[in-house]
Amino acid sequence: MSEAETQPQSQLIDGRYRVLGPIADGGMATVYRAKDERLERVVAIKVMHTQLAQGPHRDQFVARFHREARSAAAISNPHIVQVYDSGTAGGRDYLVMEYVHGVNLRHEMNERGTFSVHETVRIISQTLDGLASAHRAGVVHRDIKPENILLNDRGRVQITDFGLAKAMSEATLSTTGMLLGTAAYLAPEMIENNLATPQGDLYSVGIMAWEMLAGQVPFTSDNPVTMVFKHVHEDVPALQGVCQGIDPSISAFVAHLTARTVENRPVDAAAALQELKTLSSRIGVDGWQYRYVPADTEAAGQEATSPLVGTLPPNPPAATGEDTKPSPISPELPAASASPAYEKTQAMSPGTYEHQSSPNAATQAIGGRTLANDGTAAANNPTMTIGLMDAPTEGQVEEPSGDNPTAKTMPQKRSRLRKPVVITTIILALLALLMSAGAAWWYFLGPGSYYSVPRPEDLSCSTNSACRITAVKWKPFESTLKVAGVPFQVSEEFSDKVSKGEVISTDPGDVGGHVSKRTGAKLKVIVSKGVRHVTVPKDILDPTSAAGKKPMETLSQAGFTNIVHDESKDEYSVDLPAGAAKSISPKPGTTVAHNRKVTLVLSKGPMPVSMPDVTGRTKDDAQAAFDDAKLKPNYSEEFNDSVPAGSIVSTSTKAGTQLHWGDKVDVVVSKGPETVTIPDVRGKNENDAQKTLEALGLKVKISAPLGDLTHQVRFQSPDPGAQVRVRGNDGNPTVITLTVV
């Protein structure tokens, strides 16, 4: 029994709105027909359910109520259902809205199957006109679908349920991680990028137009995950493929609205409406009258129904009991009537569409939660019944009359029935216990306790074998996970086998793997960054740098994994120490894949050589020998009485000694015999003259044939000014003879 069934009609809300009767009961609220006694007009009142008003998520639902009021109040357009008032009574929030007598578009679609181009354009143009006002006010509806398009008794469109609407500046698909809206009409960017835009509303309008003309939505599936996946990854098929013969401009217009990318759609509803007006002027009479009739309809001989205006049922009967004494609103309100008049007419308000069910219209909850058709979570109600249900009325038990013999035997019948009733009660109690246990198992241990990892679109799986998730494109798989509601955690790694942007592995790793809902677990996804690229150090050929001193180790630390070094090709070097890099390919500073071959030639250091024998050879000959041995001579000169000038007197290293390229050798070059100029010492004292000459390295001989009386030098030989050797070939000093008297 619904919460509305236990209350009498004619209750007074806030001393102003008298409840006349229920219209519809949805997952979030019940909608009532009421009379505004202050303004003397009929209105629709949407009252939040008690379990939501008192539940743990009350703030979320109240915020949606207020958002719906603000969104609708900000828009002034005859094609938008107006919100008059809002408030709280009995602890439950309510909205007072315009009362629309008519049906929603889903009802007409179920009745008619397909629409003519003229009927479709009329409804779509009015819908776009209403959305244009919303978009100008900065409001995105986010849930356009046939259930939210009301057709009043004059056939005019009125858009309802702005409960999912948000201002464009803050518009995203969901703030709770759940996909909101109906799967068949969701725009790709709403699913994939969590982004709600005016173009998203146009996409939904385009899908709705496609369905009106073709009799079905372009994408159909029993699985809402598969359906939204198609919206993201497939283009909407051309309308002409189904409606052959339709005016091409109509097909092109619908294709423009349903373009997969936002940029390829009109910027907003006003632009789309102007485009529709422009093409309407070019459609001929036959184009307006075109209506697609499916083959099964033709076979059954069905005729096209009449235009919308005139096909609507009459107004519903007014509720009785208006003279009942007013009373404050209680937590419960009257039940939705099951009378044929209500079921047929469905006096529409922003809640009545919740009872129009069809395979394409049922609002889906993606990610393990159920949504009512107004997009809200059905709290404490995993399975919602769509439609107005007959319900027994308490207290309506017929009393037996005196003429009724059945009445006299009722005590006996009650006695005979008591035992079966007890047995039935016990059985029902046991069944309830088993169902509770089963529900507990399902929730804590069974399928309700985990998410199942979906199969990526581009992954082929063999039958009866585990299907590993690897080498599949990440972006489409990410969309699949978001649609399925599976929480995930992404990390990136380099891979030599898996291309950049593809999945390397997941944990759990197989399709159908379980991710616990109870422990806050997430599917771990490793995405490939492609082959790792590294750079050859720029200073690797500099033997004084850290990289040049240990080139092999440096390349390994940089990340190169295919280093080729052939010792047989290493070379001696005068300048480079052993182990330094002599050459490398690719060149220093080049960035390549880490597994690309890097060829390295190392230095073996200076080559060993023998000291050449250069003693007695001319300096030029000695230099040539040193050049051949790549030795570095350090020359010095000295006088030598036995070695000609310019020849090598001696070396610091003996001939034949092993040296290496670049070693230094000290070399002495002869300047020839040392010579001096004989000074004039005549007339000087014998001793002074002798000292002067000996100071030059000469040897002095004194001759005194007449006696040494004055000790004065009279003659010298060789004569003054003569150039003489200091030493002779025998190495002895040259003798200078002085004659004294």
Query: What amino acid positions are annotated as catalytic residues?
Result: 143
Contact 607, 577 (CB under 8 A): no
* Alpha carbon distance, N-terminus to C-terminus of the chain: 166
Please tell me the distance from the alpha carbon of residue 733 to that of residue 741, in angstroms, as a whole number.
Answer: 25
Q: Are strands 735-740 and 699-703 parallel, antiparallel or unpaired?
A: parallel
Contact 72, 379 (CB under 8 A): no
Please tell me the distance from the alpha carbon of residue 573 to that of residue 540, in angstroms, as a whole number.
Answer: 16
What's the DSSP call for residue 589?
A: T
Q: Which runs of E-coded beta strand occur in 348-427?
A: none
Please tell me the distance from the alpha carbon of residue 553 to that of residue 665, in angstroms, as a whole number.
Answer: 36
Burial of residue 198 (CB within 10 Å: 0-12, 13-18, 19+) is buried
Helix (H) or strand (E) segment spanning residue 575: none
**Token pair listed for 589:** 């500073």
Contact 648, 617 (CB under 8 A): yes
What type of residue is 289? Q
DSSP track, 297-344: HHHTTPPPPPPSTT-SPPPPPPPS-TTSPP----S--PPPP--HHHHH
Please tell me the distance from the alpha carbon of residue 655 to that of residue 298, in angstroms, as a whole number.
Answer: 117
Contact 362, 36 (CB under 8 A): no
Helices (H), 529-576: 546-549, 551-558
DSSP track, 150-172: EEETT--EEE---TT-EEGGG-B
Please tell me the distance from the alpha carbon of residue 320 to that of residue 355, in angstroms, as a whole number.
Answer: 24
Hey, what's the torsion of the CAs at 30, 31, 36, 41, to 10 degrees?
Answer: -170
Q: What are phi and psi of 285, to 5 degrees?
A: -60, -45
Contacts of 626 (CB under 8 A, 6+ apart): 612, 614, 632, 633, 665
Contact 424, 486 (CB under 8 A): no
CA angle 43, 49, 52 (to 5 degrees): 140
What type of residue is 649? V
Please tell me the distance from the alpha carbon of residue 137 to that of residue 645, in angstroms, as a whole number.
Answer: 110
Helix (H) or strand (E) segment spanning residue 480: helix 474-484
CA angle 230, 236, 237 (to 5 degrees): 115
Q: Is 40 left (phi over 0), alpha (psi -120 to 50) or beta?
A: left
Burial of residue 1 (CB within 10 Å: 0-12, 13-18, 19+) is exposed
DSSP-assigned beta bridge partners for residue 669: 637, 648
**Token pair listed for 64:** 């949606």
